[in-house]
Structure 1
Amino acid sequence: MPKAGIIFNDLKPVACRVAEELRDKLTSLGWTVAMATGIGGILGYSQPDRPICHTPIANLVPPGFDEETQFAIVLGGDGTVLSAFRQIAPCGIPLLTVNTGHMGFLTEVYLNQLSQAIEPLLVGNYEIEERAMLTVQLLRDDIVLWEALCLNEMVLHREPLTSMCHFEIEIGKHAPVDIAADGVIISTPTGSTAYSLSAGGPVVTPGVPVLQLVPICPHSLASRALVFADSEPVTIFPANPNRLVMVVDGNGGCYVLPDDRVRVQRSPYVARFIRLRSPEFFHVLREKLGWGLPHVAKPASVELP
């Protein structure tokens, strides 16, 4: 009996309703269906007196989701998509992303297109696009206190009401660099259209094997975004006396103390997106962000009487 999965945002009534309808339909067609909510991939926040507050990456897989699951369908917005991949990427399950949110930059189809998407999905008439993910770890005395799987970006920044920070950053075997800024972002190509873009980083097409380092409000004209090979791990040392805050995929994170360090590297797991048509990244940029729209000429000048 074939097996599928459904992950949904249980805070949205429409996602809950559609998840139940979809489960009943697949079951009537002879499929075994595993269900989970997106809450299972939500990252916790650690505290200075309680630094270990996380579930190891491989332990986030929901019950019933395994290598026999042919595909999963996620119902929600971009946050639910990010959460779903944190849960199922270790199993290699491909994911059809259905937008029940707002922008839905990471989603493949809108909710009103789901019924048309089911038929090609069940017969395997689709492509799979793989996106790189990151493993993010907080270390103290060589002990991993917190870790997370990341599809978009890791952000390390100062707390409110504190001064600008210094970050000593090692990329691979290159000499360390010092960056003075409000924070730094390490981004995947997928995350290049998220926080990294807002901070002035370039857009990177998904298939390019690179990462980005983007300073947030740097205190130097020499501190610009850097693109480097994703085969090189990154280690960040806080070079200031105040604690910092680390956030992964805009979702959860932990405090980083002066003697801690953050290690970021490409994950062995990938996000596998189901594409019902050939991926067209520039079309998504145009539709969601207005990139490359035709130039509109200014109206002809009119002479006043």
Structure 2
Amino acid sequence: MKKIAIFAKVHDPRCLGVAEELVTWLEARGLEPVVEAHLARHLKFEPGTEPERIPDSADLVVVLGGDGTLISVARLIGERQVPILGVNLGSLGFLTEITLDEMYPALERCIAGNFQVSERMMLKTEVTREGEVISSHQVLNDVVINKGALARIIDLETSVDDYHLTTFKADGLIISSPTGSTGYSLAAAGPIVHPALDCLVITPICPHTLTNRPVVVDAGARISIILRSMNEDVFLTLDGQVGMELKAGDRIMIRRAEHRTRLVISQSKDYFEVLRTKLKWGER
């Protein structure tokens, strides 16, 4: 590895300080830091690199911040599948599991080619309106259909592989990947799914029918959701970061993406330790 890209949460002074130190560390070892343009302006580092050019110009991506920053970078990297080393400078951090103390040893292993990755399934989402695809995205965590603040419960006709599942009457619906199972889906009483599994999780948000429960389906399934509610404010949110307003009759198609996100994993902890730590299991 010769070119190391750096993304950071630019509004966090701590992240900026670590990024500045990292640039110096890389240059001292004869490596080329590829600094994302917005971050470069904050560091007064020239030249910065526009985000969309980074996947084709980096051998490794370092993300300084929290899970939100890493999720946005994962969508950007897309099919290039460049390994991502997430350094946790946020609060929770299910994905950015490398601590600041572990960062430089982990970087040295990556540069030497002695590292392991966790390959995470991504979701491909298409919105069709009147027979035309109007939006297409690939996400790491989840696809959420949610009612507006003043809207009534909404009707979401849901099918799996052309088989009718049900019409959810609820505040909304979450379709999550295994990685996203510890996000919004977990808060809506969805299951925790190990990230090595290939599956999709369908979790209703505050369903009007109390017997509606989360459903786990095969990763090869195609999930179709049609908004049947009229005159309600309904929104589609992708990874909690990208969104659009939906209209009655819109169809949302969700399936497994062809590529995966590759996350560099810590050699000092496993997934279950991350769960115990982040969710404070076993503590009184």
Q: CA deviation at 1:17?
A: 2.5
Count of aligned positions: 273
For residue 108 of structure 2, what is the aligned residue in structure 1?
119
1:271 equivalenced with 2:261 (yes/no) = yes
**In structure 1, which of residues 161, 173, 177 is the aligned counterpart of residue 162 of structure 2?**
173
Distance (whole Å) between structure 2 residues aligned to residue 118 and residue 155 of structure 1: 35
Q: CA deviation at 1:149?
A: 2.0
**Superposed CA offset, 1:195-239 (max 9, x none):** 101101111111111111011111112311100001011111011
**Is the CA contact 1:7–1:37 (under 8 Å) kept in the aligned structure 2?**
no
Task: Evaluate the alpha carbon distance shift between residue 218 and residue 15 of structure 1 in structure 2; reply closer, same or farther with a 3 A threshold.
Answer: same
Distance (whole Å) between structure 1 residues aligned to residue 73 and residue 197 of structure 2: 23
Distance (whole Å) between structure 1 residues aligned to residue 268 and residue 122 of structure 2: 21
Q: CA deviation at 1:262?
A: 1.0
**In structure 2, which of residues 61, 79, 95 is the aligned counterpart of residue 72 of structure 1?**
61
For residue 3 of structure 1, what is the aligned residue in structure 2?
3
What letter is aligned with 1:193?
Answer: T
Q: How does 1:14-33 map to 2 (within 5 A)?
A: 14-33=14-33
Tell which deviates more after alignment, 109-118 or 216-225: 109-118
What letter is aligned with 2:64?
Answer: L
Task: Evaluate the alpha carbon distance shift between residue 61 and residue 269 of structure 1 in structure 2; reply closer, same or farther with a 3 A threshold.
Answer: farther
Structure 2: 5+ residue stretches without partners: 40-49
1:220 equivalenced with 2:193 (yes/no) = no
**In structure 1, which of residues 223, 228, 231 is the aligned counterpart of residue 220 of structure 2?**
231
Task: Evaluate the alpha carbon distance shift between residue 115 and residue 2 of structure 1 in structure 2; reply closer, same or farther with a 3 A threshold.
Answer: closer
Structure 1: 5+ residue stretches without partners: 40-59, 297-305
**Is the CA contact 1:34–1:65 (under 8 Å) kept in the aligned structure 2?**
no
TM-score by length of 2: 0.89
**Superposed CA offset, 1:100-123 (max 9, x none):** 111122112222332333322221
**Is the CA contact 1:210–1:230 (under 8 Å) kept in the aligned structure 2?**
yes
Distance (whole Å) between structure 2 residues aligned to residue 221 and residue 4 of structure 1: 50
Q: CA RMSD in A?
A: 2.1
Question: What secondary structure sits across from 2:72 in the alignment?
Answer: helix
Q: How does 1:33-44 map to 2 (within 5 A)?
A: 33-36=33-36
1:290 equivalenced with 2:262 (yes/no) = no
**Is the CA contact 2:128–2:250 (under 8 Å) kept in the aligned structure 1?**
yes
Q: CA deviation at 1:179?
A: 1.1
Aligned-residue sequence identity (percent) comes to 34
TM-score by length of 1: 0.83
For residue 107 of structure 1, what is the aligned residue in structure 2?
96
**In structure 2, which of residues 188, 200, 203 is the aligned counterpart of residue 199 of structure 1?**
188
**Is the CA contact 1:169–1:236 (under 8 Å) kept in the aligned structure 2?**
yes
Distance (whole Å) between structure 2 residues aligned to residue 191 and residue 233 of structure 1: 17
Q: Which has the larger radius of gyration?
A: 1
Question: What secondary structure sits across from 1:205 in the alignment?
Answer: coil
Q: How does 1:125-164 map to 2 (within 5 A)?
A: 125-164=114-153
Q: How does 1:82-93 map to 2 (within 5 A)?
A: 82-93=71-82
What letter is aligned with 1:5?
Answer: A
